[in-house]
Amino acid sequence: MGIFRKVGRQVEQFKRTATETAKENADYRCRECDARFDVHDGRCPECGAPEVVSVGDEE
């Protein structure tokens, strides 16, 4: 069982790293909750706020 636990931990670490990297490189940010995401559908997918801005416009 030790090998499965080790692999499971590595997979979880990879998922966390991939999620964090995706958020850092996201194209849009919510002004209300600071969520970051790639697709802008008019509202924040996390909190539903309409205050979504392009990350490139803020710099």
Report pLDDT for 59. 47
Q: Which pTM does this prediction carry?
A: 0.55
Kindly give, in sequence order, each residue whose CB lies less than 8 Å from that of residue 20, ignoring residues fewer than 6 positions away: none
Outline where DSSP puts E strands in the chain: 28-30, 36-37, 52-54
Q: What is the mean pLDDT of residues 26-30?
A: 88
Report pLDDT for 21. 80
Does position 14 have pLDDT exceeding 80, yes or no?
yes
Q: How confident is the model at residue 6 (pLDDT cuts 50, 70, 90)?
A: very high
Q: What is the mean pLDDT of residues 8-18?
A: 91
